[in-house]
Amino acid sequence: MTLKIVDGMENKKLCLIMVTEDERDKCFLTQKLTRYMGWLAIRCKVFKDRDIQGIEIKFDDLVTNVCEWFKEEHTTVAILDLENIKLSDGPKYDSIFRRDHIDTLFVEYIGDEANQDTLSTPLESITSNKELTDPLSYVVLRKESKDILVNKVENYLQTRIIFYVLNINMENKSIWLSRHGESVFNLEEKIGGDSSLSPRGQKYAQLLPDLITKEIGESPLIVWTSTLRRTQETAKYLPYKKLAWKALDELDAGVCDGMTYKEIEEEYPEDFKARDDDKYQYRYRGGESYADVVNRIEPVIMELERQENVLIITHQAVLRCIYAYFMNVPQGESPWMTIPLHTLIKLTPTTDGVKVTRIKTDIPAVSTYKEKGSSDITSNPSNLSSKYANILEEVSTIQKI
C-alpha cells in the first residue's frame, strides 16, 4: 500500500534478523523484504557483518551502526544480514536492541530436518509451556513442508511483514509482462475506453503463443488479464488457463475517459498541468491516480509472489506500477516510464536482483508515450523527465548485475 499506511508508525523501529543456512536463500529473502518495504514507502536498510572488501565488522560496531542509523528521520526497518549468526545469540540481540526501543523479529528459513540449534523446536512439540513463554518474536519457514511457525508477534508492522512472508514462493520462476496489442483507441490517440484491437494488435495476439512457447517450453503458465476487451482479445490464442482481474483494469481516467491528451489540455487545462506536476498523486476527476492503482493491485502483487510462472496482459499504467514494484523504482518516477506496445518483458528474480529481458516483436505499433509539459505523443522521448523514463534502454545495464 502507500505512504498513508505507515502514518502513525513513525515511532516504531524494527530490526529484522535473517537466519538461514543457505546464503542464496538469505539473499533472496532479504531482497524481497527490502522490495516490499520500498513498496510500502517504509525507510529500510540492510546491514551486513562484512564490508565491501569482505572484512568482518565487529559485532559491537555493527550494533552501533544500526542504532545510529535509527536516529535518522523516518527510519523504520533495519535488516540484519549476518554471515554467522548463532541462534543461541537470539536473546542477546533482542536485549541489546530493546535498550534502544527497537523491536526485533527473527526470520528463519530452514529445512524440515534441521532442528538442532534453531530458534524453534520441532513443530509437533510446540504446545509445551516452555515454548509459550519464549520471549523472542520470530517466524520460521520450513523449506520442504512449507510449514510456518509464528511466535509472539506484537505489533502491526510485524504482522504486515509476516503477511508478506506468508505469500512468498521461494521457487525459481519468471513473470512475463505485456501490454495489450495496439487498440483502436491507441490509433486515435484516445485514452481509456474499452475498444477492440486494431488489425496490427490482432497480429500481435496471434504471434504471442509462439513467443511464449519459445520462452517456457513445456513449463506450466497461467495468464492474467484485466476485464477489458483489449487484454482478453490479446490473450485469445494462448493455450493456458486465464484469469481476468478487475484490479488489472487500466487507470480510470474519470471524465477524461475516451478523450485525447489534446482534448484534455483544451477542456481541463488546470487538470492537465496538475497531472504533469504530480503524476503519481494526481487523480482524474471522478477517476483514479497512480497511487490508487498501487493500492488496488496489492492482492495481485501478493498472488504474483505466490504463483509459479505468470504472464500478465494489462495496461500501460498498471504495468508501470507492477514493474516499479519488481525493479524498486521510486513511486514518483514510475508514471514516466516508457512501456511500448508489442513488446514482451520478462522478469526473473535472482539472488542479485531482478533480471529483465525484453523481447520486441517486429509488428509495428503507435507510441502512446506522452511527454511532460506537452500533449504530444512521441516514440522518442527527448526531454526525459526521469532517469527511469526509458526503462528498456536500461535493459543491458540491468542484465549485467
Partner 1 sequence: MSENSNNVQDSLFPEYLNGKITCKPDAVHEPIDGGYPMAPGQLYPTEAGTLFHAGNILIALVGLPATSKTLLAVAMTRYTRWLGVRTRSFHVSEYRRHKSHKKISLNLEFEQEMVDEVINDMKDFFENKRGQIAIFDSLNILRSDRQNLVKLFGDINVKVLFIESILTDAELVNENIEIALRSNQYLNWRKEDAVDYYTKKLSITESQYEQITREEQCSYLKYINFGKQLIINHNNQFGYLINKIVFFLMNLRNKTSRVYLARCGRSNSDKYKDDELLNDEGIRYSKVLTDLVLKRVKLNRQGKELDSESLTIWAGPRKRTIDTGMFFLEEGFTLQERSQLKQLQPGNVVDLSFEEIQSKFPKEYVEYLKDPYHYRFSRAESYHDLAVRMEPLLLELEHMKRDVLIIAHESTLRILYGYLLACTSVDVPKLEFSRYVLTEITFGPFSNTVERIPIK
In angstroms, give the least distance from the CB of 281 to partner 1: 11
Site residues, partner 1 (CB under 8 A): 1, 4-5, 7-8, 123-124, 126-127, 129, 131-132, 145-153, 156, 159-160, 162-163, 166-167, 169, 243-247, 283, 285-286, 292, 295-296, 298-299, 302-303, 306
Residue 329 — φ and ψ, nearest 5°?
-80, 130
Q: How far apart are CA 231 and CA 239, in angstroms?
A: 15
Q: At a CB cut-off of 8 Å and minimum separation 6, what does 367 contact?
A: 340, 341, 377, 378, 379
Q: Is there a catalytic annotation at residue 342?
A: no
Residue 157, Cβ density class (10 Å: 0-12 exposed, 13-18 middle, ≥19 buried): buried
Interhelix angle 90-99/59-70, nearest 10 degrees: 40
In angstroms, give the least distance from the CB of 158 to partner 1: 8
At residue 320, the 3 state secondary structure works out as helix
Q: Which of 81, 233, 305, 371 is catalytic?
A: 81
Minimum CB distance to partner 1 smaller for 161 or for 365: 161
Minimum CB distance to partner 1 smaller for 65 or for 167: 167
In angstroms, give the least distance from the CB of 366 to partner 1: 29
**313 contacts 235 by C-beta, under 8 angstroms:** yes
Minimum CB distance to partner 1 smaller for 281 or for 375: 281
Q: How far apart are CA 198 and CA 183, in angstroms?
A: 5
Please give the helix or strand (H or E) that residue 222 lies within, else none: strand 222-226
In angstroms, give the least distance from the CB of 312 to partner 1: 13
In angstroms, give the least distance from the CB of 302 to partner 1: 5
Minimum CB distance to partner 1 smaller for 305 or for 371: 305
Q: Which three cell numbers stand for residue 371?
A: 511527454
At residue 21, the 3 state secondary structure works out as coil
Q: For residue 387, how many other CB atoms are within 10 A of its CB?
A: 11
Minimum CB distance to partner 1 smaller for 50 or for 146: 146
CA-based nearest residue to 169, from 7, 29, 289, 307: 307
In angstroms, give the least distance from the CB of 243 to partner 1: 5
In angstroms, give the least distance from the CB of 379 to partner 1: 33
Q: How far apart are CA 166 and CA 5, in angstroms?
A: 20
**33 contacts 161 by C-beta, under 8 angstroms:** yes
Q: Which of 250, 252, 271, 333 is catalytic?
A: 250
DSSP code of residue 197: B
DSSP code of residue 183: B
Q: Is there a catalytic annotation at residue 218?
A: no
Q: How far apart are CA 257 and CA 369, in angstroms?
A: 17
**231 contacts 280 by C-beta, under 8 angstroms:** no
Minimum CB distance to partner 1 smaller for 64 or for 145: 145
Q: Is there a catalytic annotation at residue 315?
A: no
The radius of gyration of the chain's CA atoms, rounded to the nearest angstrom, is: 23
Q: How far from the centroid of its chain's Cα atoms is residue 187's Cα?
A: 31
Compute, in degrees rounded to 10, the torsion defined by CA atoms 308, 162, 20, 83.
120
Minimum CB distance to partner 1 smaller for 286 or for 330: 286
Q: Which of 180, 252, 271, 333 is catalytic?
A: 180
Residues carrying an active site annotation: 81, 180, 250
